[in-house]
Amino acid sequence: MAVEQKDRRKERLDRGIKVRSDGVYAIASWAEISYLVAPRLIFILGLLAAPILLTPVPYWQKVLSIICIYSLLAISFDFLANYVGLVSLGGGFYIGVGAYVAALLNMKLGAPIFITIPAATVVGAAICTVFFLPCLPLRGVYFAIVSLMFPLLAARVIEALDIFGGTDGIVGVDGFSSVWMEQYLLIIAVLLSVFFLRRMITEDVGLVFSGVKDNDQAVKASGINITRYKALGIFIASSLGCFGGAVLSHIYMWAGISQFALDFSIIPIAATVVGGGGTLIGPVIGCLILVPISELLRDFGTLRIAVYAIILTMFIVYKSEGIMVFASRKYEQFERWVSI
């Protein structure tokens, strides 16, 4: 048996329909059009239909909102890590800053939700970018460590100085008028950010981003300020996180230091590993799997971290490429054994 296996190898070839639907000629037949559109449509319509399907179970509707917030963070992590080359563990910081900015705008200035959320997205992202600016020359694991410090530091500073309501947080923030608005706001935000980021990485500016990741010396030698592009990357990523944070503070009607929690930094990474890094859709799929699991395991208390760790380890050992990469390979290519 061992000898037999030695004489053959696995060959991967593109499926005929994949090749036929590569160019503009895909519009020649319905088969090819549906081959291209079907998976995307399942993803989009599935997400859009989810709140309606979950109406009988309001608890899971809430979970869906949390899934979407984690998805936004996971998308931003995936974008930063795989297209800008910054492994950022600052997810908790983005959420916290967004939540506090939205809550302060709402409580101190009396701004309504449709102003606080966009304002918190932009102002929060600007605040995050300014804080991350000194760390941008760092790379790899060093940047990761420093970015992990920010959410911890912010929580301690608020606690110690007793600002913004201290440990009690800011209570009494306006809630959403209906659960539908909350759900669809988040779902549309997830869909739009996936769409825009997937478009952007293939544009010229996306190539500059990936140049900064692969080969920053050559980008510098090309007369491009890499710090500016890293800052732009952080701004885009943190605006997704701050949007999530702002929505979160309106869902809970409260902003507090637990919104700087490490969960917001760690779960997006786990979701990206499970879903497949570099695909931008994979992280969303990862969140759709991991967050419900973590909800189901809520009864087990801290034991769920152990279950989490086991799932993550299994994925890293057995399917390190992630679900999305694996699935799209199966969708686009077939495998066969050839003797050598």
Q: Which residue, 29 or 215, has its beta carbon nearer to other proteins? A: 215
Tell me the residue ranges of DSSP E strands in 118-270: 170-171, 254-255
| Binding map of other proteins across residues 226-255, x = CB under 8 A, - = no contact | x-----------------------------
Based on CB atoms, which residue is closest to other proteins, 215 or 320?
215
Report residue 321 CA to chain centroid gap.
Answer: 17
How is the chain split among helix, strand and coil, in percent rounded to 5?
75, 5, 20
280 binds other proteins (CB under 8 A): no
Distance in Å, CB of 226 to other proteins, minimum:
7
DSSP 187-201: HHHHHHHHHHHHHHT
Taking CB under 8 A as the criterion, which residues in 191-230 touch other proteins? 204-205, 207-208, 210-211, 214-215, 217-226
175 or 206: whose CB is closer to other proteins? 206
Question: Which is closer to other proteins, CB of 21 or CB of 82?
Answer: 82
| Minimum CB–partner distance for residue 60 and other proteins (Å) | 40
- CB-CB neighbours of 295 under 10 Å: 16
Q: Exposed (0-12), middle (13-18) or buried (19+): which is 20, by Cβ within 10 Å?
A: middle
For other proteins, the closer of residues 135 and 212 by Cβ is: 212
Q: Whole-angstrom distance between the N-terminal and C-terminal Cα of the chain?
A: 15
Q: Which residues fall within 8 angstroms of residue 165, CB to CB, at 6 or more apart?
A: 171, 256
Q: Could you give the C-alpha distances from 284 to 14, 72, 277, in angstroms and in order?
A: 26, 8, 11
**Closest CB 327 distance from other proteins, rounded Å:** 22
Q: To the nearest whole angstrom, how small is the minimum distance from the Cβ of residue 212 to other proteins? A: 9
Q: Which residues of the shown chain bind other proteins in the complex (CB under 8 A)?
A: 204-205, 207-208, 210-211, 214-215, 217-226
